[in-house]
Copies of this chain bind each other. A is one copy, B any other.
Amino acid sequence: SVPSAYTSKSLTSKEERREFMSLFPDIVRDLTADPERILPDVERWFSKVLQYNVPGGKKNRGIATMTAYKSLASPGDLTPENLHLVHILGWCVEMMHTFFLIVDDIADGSELRRGKPSWYRVKDVGLRAINDAFMMEQGIYYLLRKYFRNKPYYVDIMELFHDCTIKTTVGQCLDLQSGRDEEGNIDLSSFTMDRYTKMVKYKTAYYSFYLPVALSMFAAGVQNPELLRQAKTILLEMGEFFQVQDDYLDCFGDPNITGKQGKDIEDGKCSWLAVVALQRGMAPQRAIMKEKYGRKDPACVERIKCMYEELRLPSVYEAYEEQTYRRIYQEIQQTSVGIPQAFLMKYMTKLYRRRE
């Protein structure tokens, strides 16, 4: 049966989060202390890049890597050495997330990230931030080489990082394409459900959902490509589910709970709500979208929100959430041995009806 109660319990314990964080200084040391690889003047700079950007977020992706591994590995495999390796993989995922954020903030012209100035806005940084992003990306492969070179799954995880990186850049490319034309008008014809799901899958789901779990599977010795395909199908669906929720909460969430003031409407984002509004709306709603969507003016934002409510998008969303949750949960129940089933179930229960 599919659990229906929302549980606010964290996926991981405070202790586990503390432990993950405690490894970060070692990661910085590894990435900056090799004089063959990095020069002393660069050492100080890159250490600053890592400290400023990597550890400040929620670290969900990194911690998921570890939690998924624990759910999958046999008790005898949960040695300190193996857990150490999985923590390193988790930090590699966090570094991947971070270098995409650094670059995304430049391309989007975003001023803030996690309550601090975006890296490129920091004094003396500017567009050097692009080179820093490349250095961070390459740091991943340095860590993989240092710690995993003799593992049978070394090539698999390298290829996995490559694959998820290209997928994310393809998603970003799609996202940047559905921008505004020269007059600053938004091209609503690109707001289709097909395009939306593709964009979300490529831009977010691969590296945020598939990558951590696939890494945990490789680390646990899973080699069967069929199992990876099974996991991928489910995780990409989870990533889409997560992003739809994110888009919904951006507009209808409680800022006191989400901790952020949504601005997808004024930014003219191709969000799930906008796509569904265009699907369900008739000529008048489409005219409102055309006229008011993507404008800074609070009255325009308010008009769009009203229209979303007129179209009953909150209940459309509720039905979507309910159905999708059940479907994915049941898919997870049917997975084979070798997939971190317990972790995925817990993860879905945690996501279901989330408000933050």
Measuring CB to CB, which residues of chain A are less than 8 angstroms from any residue of chain B?
37-39, 41-42, 45-46, 103, 106-107, 127-128, 130-135, 137-139, 141-142, 145, 154-155, 158-159, 162, 165-167, 169-170, 172-174, 176-177, 195, 198, 202
Closest to A166 in B: B138
With A37-B166, A142-B162 given, is the CB distance from A172 to B103 under 8 Å?
A: no
Closest to A136 in B: B169
A173 touches which of B45, B139, B172, B174 (Cβ 8 Å): B45
With A138-B166, A142-B166, A155-B155 given, is the CB distance from A131 to B176 under 8 Å?
A: yes
- Is B174 in contact with A42, judged by CB distance below 8 angstroms? yes
- Is A42 in contact with B138, judged by CB distance below 8 angstroms? no
CB-defined contacts of A195 to chain B, threshold 8 Å:
41
- The A interface, classified by DSSP as helix, strand, loop or mixed, is helix
- A/B interface sample: 19 pairs, CB < 8 A: A37-B167, A38-B166, A38-B170, A39-B170, A41-B174, A41-B195, A42-B173, A42-B177, A103-B131, A106-B127, A107-B130, A130-B133, A131-B173, A135-B166, A137-B137, A138-B165, A141-B162, A142-B162, A142-B166
- Is A177 in contact with B135, judged by CB distance below 8 angstroms? no
CB-defined contacts of A145 to chain B, threshold 8 Å:
159, 162
CB-defined contacts of A165 to chain B, threshold 8 Å:
134, 138
CB-defined contacts of A38 to chain B, threshold 8 Å:
166, 170
- Is B198 in contact with A39, judged by CB distance below 8 angstroms? yes
CB distance from A141 to the nearest CB of B (A): 4
- In the complex, A54→B307 CA distance in Å? 48
CB-defined contacts of A42 to chain B, threshold 8 Å:
170, 173-174, 177
- In the complex, A17→B169 CA distance in Å? 32
Closest to A38 in B: B170
- Is A41 in contact with B142, judged by CB distance below 8 angstroms? no
Residue of A37, A165, A166, A169 contacting most chain B CB atoms (<10 Å):
A169
- Is A37 in contact with B170, judged by CB distance below 8 angstroms? yes
- Is A131 in contact with B162, judged by CB distance below 8 angstroms? no
CB distance from A207 to the nearest CB of B (A): 12
- In the complex, A310→B169 CA distance in Å? 53
- Is A130 in contact with B130, judged by CB distance below 8 angstroms? yes
Residue of A37, A134, A166, A174 contacting most chain B CB atoms (<10 Å):
A134
Closest to A163 in B: B37
15 other A-B residue contacts (CB within 8 Å) besides A46-B173, A138-B162, A138-B169: A38-B166, A38-B170, A39-B170, A45-B173, A106-B127, A106-B130, A107-B128, A128-B176, A132-B173, A134-B137, A134-B169, A135-B169, A141-B162, A142-B166, A155-B155
CB-defined contacts of A46 to chain B, threshold 8 Å:
173
CB-defined contacts of A142 to chain B, threshold 8 Å:
162, 166
Closest to A106 in B: B127
CB distance from A127 to the nearest CB of B (A): 5
Q: 4 shortest A-B CB distances, which residue pairs?
A: A138-B166, A141-B162, A135-B169, A107-B127
CB distance from A30 to the nearest CB of B (A): 13
CB-defined contacts of A103 to chain B, threshold 8 Å:
130-131, 134
CB distance from A239 to the nearest CB of B (A): 16
